[in-house]
Structure 1
């Protein structure tokens, strides 16, 4: 199986594109994960490339029902009383292995799959059109069932907008639009609209200890650097998973003169868009 999968991403747009050839999927609120089904095991890879099988063992075990040689791309989510619970996802992702097992018993995870990158008999299918990959995905997952299921998809704009307006109460955070003729490739090749106005920011440093950062230094869209607000415990733990392996770098200063420890860790955080113009950035999640 592949050692590392570079994933396709979506860029935020102010309105949903429409017209012939566009397909739409609900945007689930969870953790991006690639499932690689090998000859004897199922491995889960986060967007960063980190292997996260141990904390999502319920999904890995379910993944053993997927035919060997398959690579899937999707989102791990947790349903709690009929609504997506991103806090529960964060808590599981940041937990120890014994704690993850206990949390899985309390709130099992689901895997919402939107693409197939490698087919068990056809091999690499990334260059095939989205519509063809979509059908291959449905065929492969037809006999699998929960907790691994394909996301809904439609080529009808009005249906997509109905999803956007009616599914927010269930935790669906927006809609992703994809060209039916498009191949799968790394980078921001899709488009998305979200209910909350957020932006992805690269992390360049932190304050406090790498194992328990108090705040993160991020690069804002205008190129300047700023510190985030104090991180809640789940966000701090999620960031530490990237910061600790990278090790500390030299000290740096933000645009406003705040000192931070720089890092070579390559990851993004999601921040409320309105806060990025100011000295303090409000982070909503670690990507």
Structure 2
């Protein structure tokens, strides 16, 4: 039998689903839940729960280790630890659970029980399965659930070979339920500890906004500026642009220092309404017709009209709870 620690096989991040022949034997797709990667060494009277980095999580999740000790046969399982709250996966509560030990962990196991979503089996009583192809390991894992060798708190990770189903799992509506995206595996791939041999594609949800602000009095602003930004929640990146309005006489008004110091799309603190306008002392400048003009007071000018935003579309609602199923 394998013994801890075992480095789990990892996935390389990609922006989109790969072509069919990107991995050996064709592609299989699994849901990627929002949780902690964990390897469970279990069997009659023994259980050890290992994190991705090799840390011992056994005492933090006593309900998982207790279920592991009650198994009828020795197994080494690879999966994702999750905690569900009100029909969705709650990563914040999972983090809180991971910090508890002793009586606090036992209390948390009753009020916010964890589950292990299992997507691979690495060892059985017949010996290690690391050199077996993914398709064979998946078939054995489904059999363990069918024969009820594995039951709650163990859950079979949904998987499919249908590309259209995998694309549906990338819809942001699944992200609201706690599904981060899709992990792509080769049907003929062996399990290679520590190697980034799989592919991970995250679901992406973006939002657009236009933010406007003024310095000086609202009725007679000295400067007005606006920023338009698009933010993608999956990668945490944002891109946007910032502009300052010209004065009515056609000359450029200086950019507000707060906006220059901020990143595109961020909201900078502006002076309170009615505060007297001040001359810029930052030395920064705006360019107009190839010449540099220093900051100066400007007359009142209208704020730019905001761009119309597209109507928000809503994807299909995910099911309240994904029942364990094997589709390969």
Bin the TM-score by the shorter chain: 0.5 to 0.7
Q: Which residues in structure 2 correspond to 1:12-31 (within 5 Å)?
A: 12-19=13-20, 21-31=26-36
Aligned with 1:61: secondary structure?
helix
CA contact (8 A) 2:78 2:118 kept: yes
Distance across 2 between alignment mates of 1:19 and 1:131: 16
1:274 is matched with which residue? 237
Alignment match of 2:89 (pick from 84, 90, 114): 84
Distance across 1 between alignment mates of 2:188 and 2:70: 29
Q: TM-score, normalised by structure 2?
A: 0.58
1:114 is matched with which residue? 119
Alignment match of 1:176 (pick from 169, 173, 183): 183
- Structure 1 residue 39: deviation in Å? 4.5
1:103-129 deviation per Cα after TM superposition (whole angstroms, max 9, x unaligned): 111111011000000022x21011111
2:143 is matched with which residue? 139
Distance across 1 between alignment mates of 2:106 and 2:44: 24
Matched, 1:129 2:129: no
CA contact (8 A) 2:17 2:201 kept: yes
1:40-85 deviation per Cα after TM superposition (whole angstroms, max 9, x unaligned): 2111011111111001111111123434321000011001000000
CA contact (8 A) 2:160 2:166 kept: yes
1:149 is matched with which residue? 155
Count of aligned pairs: 202
Distance across 2 between alignment mates of 1:3 and 1:152: 26
1:3 is matched with which residue? 4
1:77-108 deviation per Cα after TM superposition (whole angstroms, max 9, x unaligned): 00100000000110010123222211111111
Aligned with 1:35: secondary structure?
strand
Q: Which residues in structure 2 correspond to 1:196-211 (within 5 Å)?
A: none
Q: Which residues in structure 2 correspond to 1:230-249 (within 5 Å)?
A: none
Give the helix-richer structure, 1 or 2. 1
Aligned with 1:117: secondary structure?
strand
- Structure 1 residue 141: deviation in Å? 2.8
Matched, 1:189 2:197: yes
Aligned with 2:28: secondary structure?
strand
Q: How big is the alpha-carbon RMSD for the aligned residues of Structure 1 and Structure 2?
A: 2.1
Mark the structure with the bigger radius of gyration.
2
Distance across 1 between alignment mates of 2:169 and 2:236: 23
Aligned with 2:83: secondary structure?
strand
2:166 is matched with which residue? 160
Q: Structure 1's 119 and 15: CA in aligned 2 closer, same or farther, altered over 3 A?
A: same
Structure 2, unaligned runs of 5 or more: 206-233, 239-328
- Structure 1 residue 163: deviation in Å? 1.7
Distance across 2 between alignment mates of 1:65 and 1:129: 28
CA contact (8 A) 2:77 2:120 kept: yes
- Structure 1 residue 38: deviation in Å? 4.1
Alignment match of 1:69 (pick from 66, 70, 74): 74
